[in-house]
Chains A and B, each alone.
Chain A
Amino acid sequence: MLRLEEVHTHYGAIEALKGVSLEVNQGEIVTLIGANGAGKSTLLMTVCSNPAPTSGTITYKGKAVEQQLTAKTMRSGVAIVPEGRRLFASLSVLENLQLGAFFASTEEMENDLAYVFDHFPILQERQFQRAGTLSGGEQQMVAFGRALMSRPQLLLMDEPSLGLAPLIISQIFSMIKKIRDEGVTIFLVEQNAHRALAIADRGYVLENGRIVLSASGSDLLHNSEIKRSYLGG
């Protein structure tokens, strides 16, 4: 569904990705783990051409998208739950969700809302509250719901566990599995390697802008080097 080949991305003079190749297949949960500053978020943003890669190819559903406008990619079945959630704080929860389905017809939007409220009932209760007043966990659900509003085929998630209580993290991760079971392909970037590998079909390890290891989720979970570097033991 998504394939990156020899992707290089620069921020000014800094080369953040130094030739990354990876693949996400239809229906998979694929996770990308790595330390702070390894280039994980850059990689997700590069998929959205924000910024576009300096070289290499990105194909989504068989089509080259690496030089495509961000807005166009995001209208072709890709959605992102960005790092730090990035809700529109002074807008209501409902408005945040509606913006996720900006191009849907009114009827589709009603359906999309019902679908998101079905998965996150708390958001229905909170729909008229300003998004900035919600707790961290609820905000993460809004960000998740906003991405689902566009009925994505490929969902990019950047550290959905960041700053959340363990119980909330468990809820979010079981929701990720549920969404995948409903047919959405998921590419998950996480520092919380343990949780991510536990639900992932496959995983990649990114270090200093390069993929250093790739294997199935459970293999990585039991890999001794990974254990030492990323799993705290």
Chain B
Amino acid sequence: MSQFILEFIQQIINGLTLGSIYALIAIGYTMVYGIIGMINFAHGEIYMIGAYISIVVIAALAMIGITALPVVLLLTLLMTIIITSLYGWSVERIAYRPLRGRHRLVPLISAIGMSIFLQNYVQIAQGARDIAMQPLISGGWRFGDAGGFQIYVSYMQVIIALVTLAFMILLSLFILKSRVGKASRAVAQDREMANLLGIDTDQIISITFVIGAALAAVAGLLVGLYYGIVNAYIGFIVGLKAFTAAVLGGIGSIPGAMLGGVLLGLVESFSSAYLSTEYKDVVAFSVLILVLLFRPTGLMGKPEVEKV
């Protein structure tokens, strides 16, 4: 195989890795938008908090002498999801629920305030400097050889893709099959009617925030393990990218967020490789502008509301 093809495949692998992370976070944006019609701008911070919590959990496990890798990973995943979900739940209770029924700009401003608060809270609690995470999983596979170029797939990249896929499948089953999943789709379509069926819509909204936070926590853990560096501001740019992914896929659509995340990851990876790394953010946000200009409902966005 020629070097060109190998490089191309490498970009696809890198893009899928990045895209998995975007997709996991984008689901939180899209589900919250779908159910209460607001953009939760503090969601990127939830992801950042997830990354911090995973570091704390790993350190705590090491302190009490748990070092077997599979056990550490599983416990870290569980604890990170649980604690981060609590943050997601609290954000909704404190910053959004009291404002329900107000003009839609009001919770948006509250979200931005929450985002600033969480960044500073983590900075005070954990220090302003970058925190390095010990690499738990290193190594990978190399394939092919053309002109000195080899494809490199790290174990971590494979884990990111597989874990993301597993959570997407779990989420889809939950939304499609479970009673709460059905109720959440009903609340997204007509909250008042769902309430008239006796469904506690506030509870369904809380669950939506918890699910979004849980998936962001998974993303935070995976990113921490992959890049090894975390600071209090990683949530900002990644949050905006995941939001872009959600808009690209069609805000409010869960499969759309999955697709949008993966596509945005690929776009970024290819533009880094063939344009310049400097331009990857420019390209990503150009995608946002283009989608908003030419297809505001996104790739899989809901068509106009059906008349019933």
Binding site for B on A (CB under 8 A): 48, 50, 70-72, 74-75, 79-80, 82, 84-91, 95, 98-100, 102-103, 131-132, 139, 146, 150
Contacts and interface: CB of A to CB of B under 8 A. Distances in A.
Interface of B: 179, 182-183, 185-186, 189-190, 192-201, 302, 305-306, 308
Nearest to B179: A102
A88 B186 contact: yes
Given A88-B186, A89-B308, A99-B186, A71 B195 contact: yes
A98 B185 CA distance: 13
Contacts of B305: 89
B199 A102 contact: yes
Contact of A102 (B190, B192, B197, B306): B197
Chain B binding surface SS class: helix
B196 A146 contact: no
Nearest to A133: B306
Contact of B189 (A79, A84, A89): A89
B277 to A, nearest CB: 41
Nearest to A84: B308
B199 A132 contact: no
Nearest to A48: B196
B198 A102 contact: yes
Ranked nearest first, the 5 interchain pairs of A and B with the lowest CB-CB distance are A74-B198, A75-B198, A132-B306, A89-B306, A86-B193
Contacts of A89: 189, 305-306, 308
A50 B198 contact: no
A50 B198 CA distance: 12
A74 to B, nearest CB: 4
Given A50-B195, A74-B196, A75-B198, A91 B182 contact: yes
A91 B186 contact: yes
Residue among A48, A90, A91, A100 with max Cβ neighbours from chain B (10 Å): A90
Interface centre among A71, A75, A95 (most CB of B within 10 A): A71
A70 B195 contact: yes
Contacts of B196: 48, 50, 70, 74, 80, 82
Which of A48, A100, A102 gathers most chain B CB within 10 Å? Answer: A102
A150 B198 contact: yes
28 contacts: A50-B195, A74-B195, A82-B193, A82-B196, A84-B308, A85-B308, A86-B308, A87-B308, A88-B185, A88-B186, A88-B189, A89-B189, A89-B305, A89-B306, A90-B189, A90-B302, A90-B306, A99-B182, A99-B183, A99-B186, A99-B194, A99-B197, A102-B199, A131-B308, A132-B308, A139-B308, A146-B197, A150-B197
Contact of B190 (A79, A86, A98): A86
B260 to A, nearest CB: 20
B308 A99 contact: no
Contacts of B183: 99, 102
Contacts of B190: 86, 88
A125 to B, nearest CB: 19
Contacts of B308: 84-87, 89, 131-132, 139
A89 B303 CA distance: 12
Q: Which of B189, B193, B305, B306 has the most CB of A within 10 A?
A: B193
Given A84-B308, A87-B308, A132-B308, A71 B201 contact: yes
Contacts of A87: 308
Given A131-B308, A139-B308, A91 B189 contact: yes
A181 B197 CA distance: 23
Contacts of B306: 89-90, 132
Nearest to B176: A95
A48 B192 CA distance: 11
B189 A50 contact: no
A109 B302 CA distance: 30
Nearest to B194: A99
B288 to A, nearest CB: 26
Contacts of A99: 182-183, 186, 194, 197, 199
Contacts of B179: 98, 102
